[in-house]
Copies of this chain bind each other. A is one copy, B any other.
Amino acid sequence: MRRIKVGILGATGSVGQRFVQLLEGHPWFEFGALFASERSVGKKYREVAKWSLPSEMPEEAADMVVKSMDTIGTSTDDLALMFSALPGTIASEMEKKCAQAGYAVASNVAVHRMEKDVPLLIPEINTDHFGLIDVQKSNRGWDGFIVTNPNCSTIVMTLSLKPLMRFGLETVRVATMQAVSGAGYAGLPSMAILDNVIPYIGSEEGKMESEPLKILGTLEGSEVKNAEFTICASCHRVPVMDGHTEAIWVNFAENVSEEEVKKTFKNFTTDIKTPFAPEKPIIVRDEPDRPQPKLDRDAGHGMSISVGRIRKGQLGHEMKYIVQGHNTVRGAAGASILNAEVLVERGFI
């Protein structure tokens, strides 16, 4: 199979670098163009990206000359797909421009997630939502389209909620302990977080309280009907490099045992078999003190979430558990790549 040429919008930033890292040697995709802000345009990627990941910068990307986003739509190229890791301020305009110009856009950015005709995808959960693509193209008159993945902390939680829907999910409360990489490379000064907890992450609680209802909703005709339960989030930053840990309380309509919940997690499978799809989306840890970000974030090459400490709450029909996932792999760049793979598999690209 000939590899599809992809562009990365915002390639020099923290998530942009993660895209470059994860796409190295991808069996279906190859680097077609790296886009960044004007100060980087015309220079080699290796000169402008302050590489901050443990592995070496991929050779195939290092010598590419960074392109200007101004050229998008005005020149001919051989790109079919754009990954977007743009800052929120310019993402909306640029992603729309790309979709209009006929590209498929797999975006990690929040700005379009909650628009009615934009799919907000976790492929193991809601491939039916791919149906929104045609609605979107028709609504907007675009040749291309935009698909999105959820916020990092949302993905981790929502994957764990999916199998629990069967028990009649009524309310969810979640306290997050989020890694610093979620704030971007320069997002969080070391003086702020060393030996500290910051009990606030801008806009994060709102995202966690709204996005899952769309993701877990069902496509009815040309609209997603939201899932009907309530989420109440409290979000906190902790001095951890990668991996979001979330303490979750769920209340069910019915009484459920710890064993049933555990079994339901263990039995959760996926029919997504693309390169980035983890064999097991949910890994169940039986140890009393797992999951932990340091030990579990790389499970399934960073694409599996891990759950543990499943235990009855004090109230009837309440269950507590812990979920953990890699915030910049499963929760960001890896999520967009998985979305793109499914787009390819289903013929959208």
Residues of A within 8 A of B (CB): 14, 52-55, 171, 173, 175, 177, 180-181, 183, 185-200, 209, 230-232, 234, 236, 238-241, 245, 247, 249, 288-298, 308-309, 313-315, 318, 320, 322
Distance between A192 CB and nearest chain B CB, rounded to angstroms: 7
Could you tell me if B14 and A52 are in contact, using CB atoms closer than 8 angstroms? no
Complex Cα gap A290–B57 (Å) = 14
Could you tell me if A295 and B54 are in contact, using CB atoms closer than 8 angstroms? yes
Chain B's closest residue to A235 (CB) is B247
- Nearest first, the 5 A-B pairs at minimum CB distance are A175-B175, A200-B289, A196-B294, A234-B247, A232-B314
Could you tell me if B249 and A192 are in contact, using CB atoms closer than 8 angstroms? no
Residues of B within 8 A of A200 (CB): 288-289, 309
Contact sample, A vs B, 28 pairs, CB 8 Å cutoff: A14-B191, A52-B191, A54-B294, A55-B298, A173-B249, A175-B175, A177-B238, A180-B191, A185-B192, A188-B190, A190-B193, A193-B194, A194-B241, A194-B294, A195-B195, A195-B240, A195-B241, A197-B245, A197-B292, A199-B245, A199-B247, A199-B292, A230-B314, A232-B314, A234-B309, A236-B245, A236-B247, A241-B294
Could you tell me if A177 and B191 are in contact, using CB atoms closer than 8 angstroms? no
Within the oligomer, what is the number of copies of this chain? 4
Could you tell me if A239 and B314 are in contact, using CB atoms closer than 8 angstroms? no
Residues of B within 8 A of A183 (CB): 190
Could you tell me if B234 and A199 are in contact, using CB atoms closer than 8 angstroms? no
Contact A180 to B190, CB < 8 A, known contacts A236-B245, A298-B54, A314-B230 = yes
